[in-house]
């Protein structure tokens, strides 16, 4: 049985689908703080909170857990700056609870949802695994702290791990079984689609004077189904007895904020209001991943690199779920 912590969320629900397709039995552990029970469509469900170690012990007692995938982190960068305690308690202290119970039960295979936020301001583009890690916000610090803890647990207790550092996760399951829940995200694409569908008045562009071709920030958008396939490959890698490793996950190509907005207008056929405002603090001009290592070691190959394909999958889901919740 594979334990998916935070499996009722956006990324976790896609991983649950892919693992099930590959023949794995899964159990989702989630407190439904931001996750949705409606997204748990495969495997077992256990409602519990990582902050309560007894909840974790109960799920390990009920199921024979072989490996753990962890997605239950707070991830709003701005909020982490104004309320760092919330982030260190949930993202670090609660993860230590999980590690303690894994150790008690002899479970030593762990896949961690890390982030490009561990790198901070880029020194060079594209960003590979050797790039210096200097987070510029508490959210990034929490992810890096867990990476360091995993390294120490491997040395001391033999816990083998794979840390997958996402760049910009986006899109939705091509069959629209699961996706990003409207109103629960600060990610660009769902916000743009909210503007298109009339759930918000406009979409804001934060800064149009960056040193990029169109003046707006460039990001590496990686389709969530491609992320999910990387997790399946990482799990198989660990189950094959391979050693601990960190991988960057992105398409290796960046798209600007303007390009995303124009793609959304083309896909939806709707011309929504766009407002240009000042830059946000801490937004680097460009973030693009070098994912050669994941391709070489895991045999991972992204299938949904085209921006319009990514936006189309998100739009299909967005329309479906907005009808359900309206």
Catalytic residues: 139
Cβ–Cβ < 8 Å for 179, 317: yes
- Can you list the positions of beta strands (E) in 167-304? 168-170, 203-206, 218-219, 221-223, 245-249, 255-256, 274-277, 286-287
Question: What tokens does 53 get?
Answer: 């170690």
Question: What tokens does 198 get?
Answer: 């009339």
The span from the first CA to the last CA of the chain, in angstroms, equals 36
Cβ–Cβ < 8 Å for 5, 68: yes
Three-state secondary structure call for residue 240: coil
Three-state secondary structure call for residue 194: helix
Cβ–Cβ < 8 Å for 161, 154: yes
Interstrand relation of 255-256 and 286-287 (parallel, antiparallel or unpaired): unpaired
Question: What tokens does 8 get?
Answer: 């009722």
Cβ–Cβ < 8 Å for 160, 154: yes
Residues contacting residue 303 through CB under 8 Å, at least 6 positions apart? 223, 225, 226, 229
């Amino acid at each position: 049985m594979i334990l998916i912590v935070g499996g009722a969320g956006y990324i976790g629900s896609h991983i649950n689908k892919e693992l099930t397709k590959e023949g794995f039995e899964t159990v989702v552990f989630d407190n439904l703080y931001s996750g949705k029970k409606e997204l748990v469509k495969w495997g077992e469900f256990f409602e519990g909170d990582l902050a309560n170690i007894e909840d974790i012990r109960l799920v390990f007692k009920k199921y024979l857990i072989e490996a753990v995938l962890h997605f239950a982190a707070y991830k709003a960068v701005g909020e982490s700056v104004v309320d760092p305690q919330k982030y260190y308690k949930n993202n670090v202290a609660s993860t230590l609870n999980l590690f303690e119970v894994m150790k008690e039960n002899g479970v030593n295979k762990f896949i961690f949802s890390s982030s490009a936020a561990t790198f901070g301001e880029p020194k060079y583009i594209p960003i590979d695994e050797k790039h210096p890690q200097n987070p510029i916000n508490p959210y990034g610090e929490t992810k890096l702290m867990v990476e360091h803890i995993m390294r120490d647990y491997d040395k001391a207790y033999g816990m083998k791990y794979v840390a997958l550092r996402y760049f910009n996760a986006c899109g939705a399951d091509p069959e629209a079984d699961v996706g990003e829940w409207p109103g629960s995200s600060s990610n660009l694409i769902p916000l743009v689609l909210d503007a298109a569908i009339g759930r918000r008045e406009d979409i804001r562009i934060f800064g149009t004077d960056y040193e990029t071709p169109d003046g707006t920030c460039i990001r590496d958008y990686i389709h969530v189904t491609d992320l999910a396939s990387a997790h399946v490959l990482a799990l198989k890698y660990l189950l094959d007895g391979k050693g601990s490793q960190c991988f960057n996950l992105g398409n290796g190509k960046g798209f600007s904020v303007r390009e995303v907005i124009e793609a959304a207008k083309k896909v939806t056929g709707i011309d929504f209001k766009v407002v240009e405002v000042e830059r946000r603090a801490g937004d680097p001009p460009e973030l693009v991943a070098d994912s050669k290592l994941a391709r070489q070691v895991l045999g991972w190959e992204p299938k949904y690199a085209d921006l319009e394909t990514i936006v189309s999958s998100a739009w299909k889901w967005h329309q479906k779920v907005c009808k359900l919740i309206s």
